[in-house]
Structure 1
Amino acid sequence: MNETATAPTAPLRARAEIDLAALRSNVRALRGLAPGAALMAVVKSDAYGHGAVPCARAAVEAGASWLGTATPEEALMLRAAGLPGRIMCWLWTPGGPWREAIEADLDVSVSGLWALREVIEAARAAGLPARVQLKADTGLGRNGCQPDDWPDLVAEALAAERAGLLRVTGLWSHFACADEPGHPSIGAQLTSFREMVSYAEQRGARPEVRHIANSAATLTLPESHFDLVRAGVAVYGISPSPEIGAPADFGLRPVMTLSASIALVKRVPGGHGVSYGHRYVTPGDTTLGLVPVGYADGVPRHASGTGPVLVDGKWRTVAGQIAMDQFVVDLGGDEPANGTRAVLFGPGDDGEPTAEDWAQAAGTIAYEIVTRIGTRVPRVYVNEELAG
C-alpha cells in the first residue's frame, strides 16, 4: 500500500488525490439507496487503488458496518491496522491462512468441501469456532458452489456448526450482469439464490446475512438487497457502467483525482514524429508538453492517441504512444509553464476528464483505470477529518 498522509510541501511528479469526504458522502448515499440492508464497503485491491486503510476507516465512519476484501491477506492487514467490526474475505486457495483468519475474527467464504474441511481443521487447531459464509454459484460461473453440490456443502457445514467448530454467518452469491439492465440472467440468479437460501434454512441454517447485491444491484435492484449489500466501485464514486447512469445520478462523487506536473514544454516544427513508432506526426508548427507518467504508473497504453488530459483549462489528447514513464500532449502552440498541472482524471468539476472518459479511450472499464494506478504515484489524502 502506498500512502501519503498529508499533502507534501514540495511539488510531486504525480499524485493521486483521494478525497475522503467524497468517499464518506458516497457511503451515506449508498446506505440511503438500500435503507433496509447493512452496507459492506469493499476495499479489495488496496481499495480499488485508493488506499485500503484510509478508505476503510472513512467508510466505517460513514456507517459501513462491514468491510470486504478478496484475499485473506488483505483482510488480515486491515485487522492489523486496527479496523474493528466485521471483515469478510472470499478468495481462498488450498493451504491459506485459515487459522490466522479465525483468530482475527474474520468471516471467511467457503465454496466447496475442500475449503470447508480446511476451515474445520483450522478451527480445531485454534480452539475457536470459524465464522463461515457459504457461497452459492447462482449463474456467474466463477467461485461458489453449484446447485447440485449445495446439499453436501450445507450438510457438512451444519454438522460442523452443531459440533461447535463453526458458525454459518452468511449465505451469499454474486451477479454476472447486474450492470446490464434487463438482462435475463438477473432474474434467473435471484430465483436460484432464493431457492438455495431456502434449502439451507429449511435444514437449519440461521445466517446473520444473506447477500447478492454488488454496486450495480445496490443502485438499481432493490429486490436484491436482502440483509446486506456489497458496494465496491460505487464507494469510490464510479458508476458500474454508463448504461445504468452517471455517478451524479445516484448522488455519488469520484474520489480520486490523478494529476502530474508538466516536465517540459517545447516548440517543434510540422512533420515532427512523437514518441515510439512515430504514430503521431505534428500537422504543423506546435508545442508539445511532456507528462511524466506512463504505463508503469498505470496509465493504460491502450489509450495511446486517445487519452484525454486537462492542461491550462483545455482538453488535450495523448499524442503518440504512451511509454513506460511518460507521454506527450500536443498543446497546439500554447506554452504553459513547466510544472503546470496536467489532470488526467477527476470528478469533472473543473472540466477535467473522468475515469470513465479514460475507460472509453482505452476500451476498458473505469474500475480498471483507478485500480491500476501504481505504487510510484503517491496517494495524497484530503478531508481526512470528519466535518463538525
Structure 2
Amino acid sequence: MQPHATLRIHGDAIAENTRRLAAATDATLMAVVKADGFGHGHAALRALDAGATRLGVAGIEEALPLRWTGVSAPILSWLNPVDADAASAIRNDIELAVPSIAHLGAFATAAARVGRRALVHLHVDTGMARDGAEAAEWRPLCELARAYELRGLIRVVGIMSHLARADEPGDPLTVRQRLVFDAAVRTARRRGLAPRFSHLAATAATLTDPSTHFDLVRVGAGLYGIDPSHTTELRPAMTLTARVTKVRDVPAATAVGYGSRYITDRATRLALLPLGYADGIPRSLSPDASAFVRGRRVPLAGTVSMDQLVIDVGDAGVEPGERVVLFGQGDAGEPTIHDWARWAGTIEHDIVTRIGPRVHVEDAA
C-alpha cells in the first residue's frame, strides 16, 4: 500500500551543499545534525563524505545514537543541563560544551568517575544573553579549566560562541561579537589553555564573513539548502508530497473548511489531502499558499485542519490517488521551503524540522 504522504530526502543535495560550503572557507567544517538532521534523518551524514569532518548536535541524547550506529567522527554536544549524562558522553568520546563553572565541575566529576578525560569546548556568551558563560564568569572558568587539565580530568578542545545577526551581513553587532570572542580566546590562552579550535560562525557567517571563521565553522541549515543570509542559492534537500484522497466538484460561492475563510469564485474541483498541522503543515499559512500538481501551482483552499487540507485544482482534472507536491526543490516550478516559510511568516528551519511522524520518509539518493 502506498503511503498517504511521503517526505523524500535528497542526499545528493546535502552532499552538494556541503561541498559548496567547504569551498567557502579554509576552516574545518562541522556538520550540524541536531534535531534529526534538521528533519533529514541519517541522510544528513552524507555531509561526512562531502567535506565535513566533525559533527555537532544539541544534547547528549542526540550524540550517543550516532556513536552507537558506528559514526567515528568527532561529535560535539553543546546544550545540556548540569546533571546531564556526562559519564556516557565521556565514555563514548562525545565532546561537551561548557557554558558555566557549574557545568565544568559536573563534567570533571563525571570524568573522575569514568577514569577518562572529558573533552570540552568552553562556551562564552559574546552578546546573545542565551547560552554561554557571562563575561564576569569567563576568566575564572578558564582558570578552573586549566586546573582540571593539570589534574588530568579534562582537555579543552575548543572555545565557542554564537552570532546573533550573521544573517544580516555587515551588521555592526557581528563585528563587536567577533572582537569580544577574540578577547575571550586571548584570555583563555593567557590562562594556559591551548584549544585546537576556536569557532563562532554558523551557515550565514560561513557564506558571508570570512573574518568570523577562525579554526572551525558549524554549518547546519546550509547543508539542507537554507541560507539564512539569502545571499547564496543552495539546493533544498527535502520534498513533501501527498496523495489525493477525495475530489469533489463544487459550484461558485462554496465555503471551504473551518471558519469558511475560503469561498470559491467559480465552479471548480476541490481535492482533499491527508496532511494537517499534526503533520507539520503550518496552520498560519497566508492566502498565497499553494501546492503543485499536473505541472502547475494551485491554491490551498481554506484553513489547515489537524489531519487534512484542501486544494483548489480548478479545471486540472485531478483524481483520487494522484500525488501532489507541497514543497520541493523548485526545479519544476513547485513551491520550495522558502515559499512555505514566507507564507507561514516563519523561517525555513521551522518548516523542515516540524514534519510529523505520520509522514513516510524515504531517501531519494
181, 197, 211: which is aligned to 1:193? Answer: 181
Question: Aligned residue for 1:49?
Answer: 39
* Counterparts in 2 of 1:24 and 1:129: CA distance versus 1, 3 Å: same
Give the deviation of 1:377 after TM superposition: 1.0
List gaps (5 residues or longer) in structure 1.
1-9, 384-388
Question: Aligned residue for 1:367?
Answer: 349
Give the deviation of 1:246 after TM superposition: 4.4
5, 10, 17: which is aligned to 2:8? Answer: 17
Give the deviation of 1:265 after TM superposition: 1.7
RMSD: 1.1
SS of the equivalent of 2:211 reads helix
TM-score (norm 1): 0.92
348, 351, 355: which is aligned to 2:333? Answer: 351
Give the deviation of 1:271 after TM superposition: 1.6
Q: Does 1:323 align with 2:305?
A: yes
AA partner of residue 144 (structure 2): E
103, 109, 131: which is aligned to 2:91? Answer: 103
Give the deviation of 1:284 after TM superposition: 2.2
Spell out the pairing of 1:303-314 with structure 2 (5 A cutoff).
Answer: 303=285, 305-314=287-296
List gaps (5 residues or longer) in structure 2.
none
Give the deviation of 1:330 after TM superposition: 1.1
Give the deviation of 1:304 after TM superposition: 5.4
CA deviation profile, 1:32-79 (whole Å, cap 9, x unmatched): 001x2110000000111111x3322x1111121110001110011111
CA deviation profile, 1:212-239 (whole Å, cap 9, x unmatched): 0000001101111111000010001112
Give the deviation of 1:270 after TM superposition: 1.4
Spell out the pairing of 1:1-388 with structure 2 (5 A cutoff).
Answer: 10-34=1-25, 36-51=26-41, 53-56=42-45, 58-242=46-230, 245-247=231-233, 252-303=234-285, 305-383=287-365
Structure 1 residue ranges (4+ consecutive) displaced by more than 4 angstroms after TM superposition: none
- Contact kept in structure 1, 2:169 and 2:209, CA below 8 Å: no
Moved more, 215-224 or 374-383: 374-383
- Contact kept in structure 2, 1:312 and 1:340, CA below 8 Å: no
SS of the equivalent of 1:331 reads strand
Aligned equivalents of 2:257, 2:208: Cα separation in 1: 44
CA deviation profile, 1:2-55 (whole Å, cap 9, x unmatched): xxxxxxxx4221111011111111111111001x2110000000111111x332
AA partner of residue 40 (structure 1): M
Aligned equivalents of 1:184, 1:54: Cα separation in 2: 36
TM-score (norm 2): 0.98
Moved more, 335-344 or 41-50: 335-344
Aligned equivalents of 1:55, 1:85: Cα separation in 2: 14
Give the deviation of 1:365 after TM superposition: 0.4
Aligned equivalents of 1:141, 1:262: Cα separation in 2: 47
